[in-house]
Structure 1
């Protein structure tokens, strides 16, 4: 039962991160200096896709979920690093969600 609970928590963390990334990318598109936000938007979109896939693979207990968690953690780190460069609330919240997801991905691969 504990494994199912950990999986369910991880799925939620992944989908929460995906939502934060989608929100950040949309908010970045409304910023005045759009060219400066290009990398942030790109990474947020990539990260959202990775997090959604990671959450889905975890929910179905896929044989590939652990390998994918490693990739997801790397993408989340890259997104958090980029978002941290910008002084916007949506970027700060996205970076926090990305770090939480990266940490949880790594925790899941260690405890498996």
Structure 2
């Protein structure tokens, strides 16, 4: 089954989705939310693609490689944005996105 082949990737996707959602929520609580707007937007998009790819893998979608390529791009972009911010939640998100982008590259 596809989901067994991608067991490690599934875990990495889930971890990234969780960190992005946490960062999204924490950024909304920051004093200068407007400054965090791009981080918030990318957190949301990254969490969504990670969740979607996780679901696609679990149902053995024929588009896993294509979705993994999009996920790689979004995770890389989110990583770059989160690294710009000193907040702990942004740094943890950046790390999770880096790991996820790396894992997704191996699929494409």
Alpha-carbon deviations, 1:32-79, whole Å to 9, x = none? 111100000000000000000111111222100111000000000010
Alignment of 1:24-39 (within 5 A): 24-39=23-38
Deviates more, 1:33-42 or 1:6-15: 6-15
What do you get for the CA RMSD once the two structures are aligned?
A: 1.4
Q: Which runs of 5+ in 1 are unaligned?
A: none
3-state secondary structure, aligned to 1:85 = coil
Query: 2:96 is matched with which residue?
Result: 97
Q: Match for residue 68 of structure 1? A: 67
Q: Kindly indicate whether the alpha-carbon contact (under 8 Å) linking 1:24 and 1:94 is maintained by their aligned counterparts in 2.
A: yes
Aligned length in residues:
108
Q: Are the counterparts in 1 of residues 20 and 93 from structure 2 also a CA contact under 8 Å?
A: yes
Distance of 1:60 and 1:8 partners within structure 2: 13
Give the unaligned 5+ runs of structure 2. Answer: none
Name the residue aligned to 2:13. 14
Give a deviation string over 1:63-109, Cα, whole Å, max 9, x none: 00111000000000010000000000000000000010000000122
Indicate the larger mover: 40-49 or 50-59.
50-59
Q: Scaled by the length of structure 1, what TM-score is found?
A: 0.91
The question of whether the paired residues in 2 share the 8 Å contact of 1:79 and 1:98 is answered with yes
Given the two structures, how large is their TM-score scaled by the length of structure 2? 0.94
